[in-house]
Structure formats: C-alpha cells, structure tokens
Structure 1
Amino acid sequence: MNLGVIGQATGLFAVTNIDDILILALFFAQSAGRRGAAVRIVAGQYVGFVGIVVVAVAAAFGATFLPAQAVPYLGLLPLALGVKAAWQAWQAWQAWRSSRERRDDTGEAPAIRRPDGPRAFEVAAVTFANGGDNIGVYVPVFATAGVGATTLYVTVFLALVGIWCLAGRYFATRPFVATTLSRCGHILLPLVLVGVGVLILVEGGVIGL
C-alpha cells in the first residue's frame, strides 16, 4: 500500500472539502431529533461526492460527462435550495406567530416547528454543486496518477466522506454550537446555501461583479 498516495489523498480531500464541514453541521442541526434524518444526510453526501468523483475520473481519462462551461451554473442548485429553506423558515415563523396569538390560558408560547431536515437528494445537490473546484483540482491529479493510484485516491476519499459526516454531526451536537444553531440555524442555513450558490456563479463568471 502506497502510504505517500494515501497521505496526498488525505491532504487533497481536506483542502478541497473544508467548507463542507459547516454545511454538514447546519444540516445535522436542522434535522436534530428527526428520525432517519442523519441517514439521509450521509447518503446524500455520499451520492453527491460520488458524482464529483465520477465526473473527475471521466474527465481525467478522456471522457466528458459535464462540459466545463456548465460547471459554474451548478451554483443555481444551492441557490434554489437556499431560497427554499428561507421560505420554509418564513412559513414556520408565520405559523408560530399565528399560534402565539391563539395561545391558551396556560400562557405558554408555542414552539417554532422546525423543518424535518433536508432530503438526501437536496444534500447530494448541494455537495455536487459545491464540488466544481474539487473537479478542477482532481482531474489533473487523476490524469497523472494512473489507474492504480487513482483507485487508491478514490478509496481514501470515500472513507473520508464518512469521517467528514461524523465531524459535521460532532460539531452540530456540541452544547454551545447546538444551542446556537437551534436558535439561528433556520436563518444561517439559507444564508450559507445562497452564499455558496452566488459564490459559485461569481467565480464561474456567470455573475459579474
């Protein structure tokens, strides 16, 4: 086993996926206490990342599943999901305010009903859309590494996806972080998703600033 390649793959994955930790933490925080939500997030993260790897490997060995000019437009996916999350947060707030006006004699204000958490395809869409930079970095690495080393790269990447999910859930369940995200997560998640989408569009030249 080539320990040098494993070390390089670990470093490459960490550098290109550091921003996913925040997004995963937000997803896990949003779905805390929701049955099956963690499984959906992990599954979506794997599906999205496998999509990134498939495109990168194909491009490295001469095939093109995704034209280069189409990559920047992937920013529309997290942008749309961010707008959806913002709308759901607004609806939840409106429902809470309406219920508060009809509170009973106990004087207890009703809790805000949180969304049920992201679906697997939504997590996959955000992961894949946020992977444009990953593809750009992975293609030349895979092209020069050869089939054997590329297989090892991919194996290490897939193992690290699981560790990334554990890290995201760990951060989301720390008392201070969990308290903060439970109060502000419904606001932070739309902002982060919209920010990621706009950043992808700007960096790709779709939106000129």
Structure 2
Amino acid sequence: MSFSVIGQAVGLFVVTNIDDILVLALFFAKGAGRRSATRTIAIGQYLGFTIILAVAAAAAFGATFLPASVIPYLGLLPLALGVKGAVQAWHHRNDADEERAAKDGGPKILEVAAVTFANGGDNIGVYVPVFVTAGLAGMTVYVVVFLVVLAAWIVAGRYVATRPAIATALARWGHILLPVVLIGIGLTILIEGGAFGL
C-alpha cells in the first residue's frame, strides 16, 4: 500500500467534505445533553457516506444507479429537512431553550444520513473517475481511508460544537442555524446542478 495513495485519499476526502464540519457541529448542538446523540450522528453520517461510496464504486464499474441528471435534485432532501426545522423553530420560538430542546428530540439517524448523502451527492462525480483510475486495489484503499478519516471528521464536528463559546452560541441559535444551513445546502445543490432549469 503506497503512502502517496493514502495521502491522496486523505486530501480528496478533506477537500470534498470540508463543509460537513459545520453541519456535524450543528447536529451535535441539536443533540446536546442527549447520551445517544454521538452514536446517532455517527451512524447517520456513516450510513449516508457509505451510500455515497457504494454509488460511486458501482458507477466506477459501469453501473449507474444514479444518473447525473438526478444528482441536483438531491438538494430537495436537505431543503425539506431545513423547511421542517424552520417550521418547528417558528412554532417553538417563544419556548425557553431547555423546553425547546426537550420538544425537539435531537437528531435522527435517517435525518443525518439524508443530509450527508444529499450534501455529498456531488462528491460522486469526483470519486468515480478517481476510483476508475485507481483500479480495484486503489479504490479499496480510498474507501478504507475515507471511512477512517470520517471518524476523525465526526470527532472534529463534536469538538467544534463543544467549545464553550461555540456551544453557547449554538445552544442559543442552533435551532435557527441548522434549518438555515440545510435550506442553504439544498438551494445550492439545486441551483449549481441546474435543477428545475435554475
């Protein structure tokens, strides 16, 4: 196993997933005070990212389960979750922070997975040619490195969310920021992909 391939894999992961740190931090803020939040977020993140890798690997072998024309419409997932979160935030706008957190219920595995998959849908287009060029052995190295670095990404997201100043801000504004970020991600995916003729 070449160290240069490992380095390239780490670099590719970082470049294509840098925006996930903020999303993870917001999910961790949403799950603050819940014992199972870290496990829920980690499982959701791994589930969503594993689907991205499976689609990219299948496409590298010639199977196209997800046509390129469909990828921009993945923006509908975070957009819908963001709108749902915004509606909930509006309904509970006068609640105390603790009361709002209790009603919210924290992040859900499928919610995290859906956002991860939609936000990383454009990564498929980057991963496919890399996987094709790397061959089966190289692709295996990329996948293993991606899954290892993903754990570090989850830890980094949790670290960001638990810094005292950030944690205080997220506790106060996270219920608003998460829907705004999800709506922004959804709109960006839709617009940059040219969905609906945008």
User: Could you state the TM-score of these two structures normalised by the residue count of structure 2?
Assistant: 0.95
Give ranges in structure 1 of 5+ residues lacking alignment.
97-108
Code of the residue aligned with 1:138 in structure 2: it is Y
Q: What SS does structure 2 have at the residue aligned with 1:141? A: helix
Aligned to 2:141: 152
Aligned to 2:125: 136
C-alpha distance 61-175 of structure 1, shift in aligned 2 (>3 A)? same
Q: Which deviations, in whole Å up to 9, do the C-alpha atoms of 1:51-107 show, x marking residues without a partner? A: 00001011111111111111111000000000111112122224x2xxxxxxxxxxx
Q: Is the 8 A contact 1:85 1:190 kept in 2?
A: yes
Larger radius of gyration: 1
Candidates 110, 113, 118, aligned match of 1:124: 113
Aligned to 1:195: 184
Aligned to 1:101: none
Partner Cα separation in structure 1 for residue 98 and residue 123 of structure 2: 40
Q: How many residues align?
A: 196
Q: What SS does structure 2 have at the residue aligned with 1:156? A: helix
Partner Cα separation in structure 2 for residue 58 and residue 171 of structure 1: 34
The equivalences for 1:45-194 within 5 A come to: 45-94=45-94, 96=95, 111-114=98-101, 115-194=104-183
The equivalences for 1:5-20 within 5 A come to: 5-20=5-20
Partner Cα separation in structure 2 for residue 76 and residue 204 of structure 1: 12
Q: Is the 8 A contact 1:93 1:112 kept in 2?
A: no
Partner Cα separation in structure 2 for residue 69 and residue 127 of structure 1: 19
**Greater alpha carbon shift after TM alignment, 168-177 vs 57-66:** 57-66
Give ranges in structure 2 of 5+ residues lacking alignment.
none
Cα deviation, residue 112, structure 1: 3.8
Partner Cα separation in structure 1 for residue 196 and residue 41 of structure 2: 30
Code of the residue aligned with 1:206 in structure 2: it is A
C-alpha distance 82-6 of structure 1, shift in aligned 2 (>3 A)? same
Cα deviation, residue 207, structure 1: 4.6
User: Could you state the TM-score of these two structures normalised by the residue count of structure 1?
Assistant: 0.90
Partner Cα separation in structure 2 for residue 164 and residue 111 of structure 1: 28
Aligned to 1:23: 23
Aligned to 1:35: 35
Q: Any runs of at least 4 consecutive aligned residues in structure 1 with deviations exceeding 4 A, and if so which?
A: none
Cα RMSD for the two superposed structures: 1.3
Q: Which deviations, in whole Å up to 9, do the C-alpha atoms of 1:103-156 show, x marking residues without a partner? A: xxxxxx784421121100000000000112210100000001100010000000
Partner Cα separation in structure 2 for residue 88 and residue 77 of structure 1: 17
Q: Is the 8 A contact 2:97 2:172 kept in 1?
A: no
**Greater alpha carbon shift after TM alignment, 58-67 vs 2-11:** 58-67
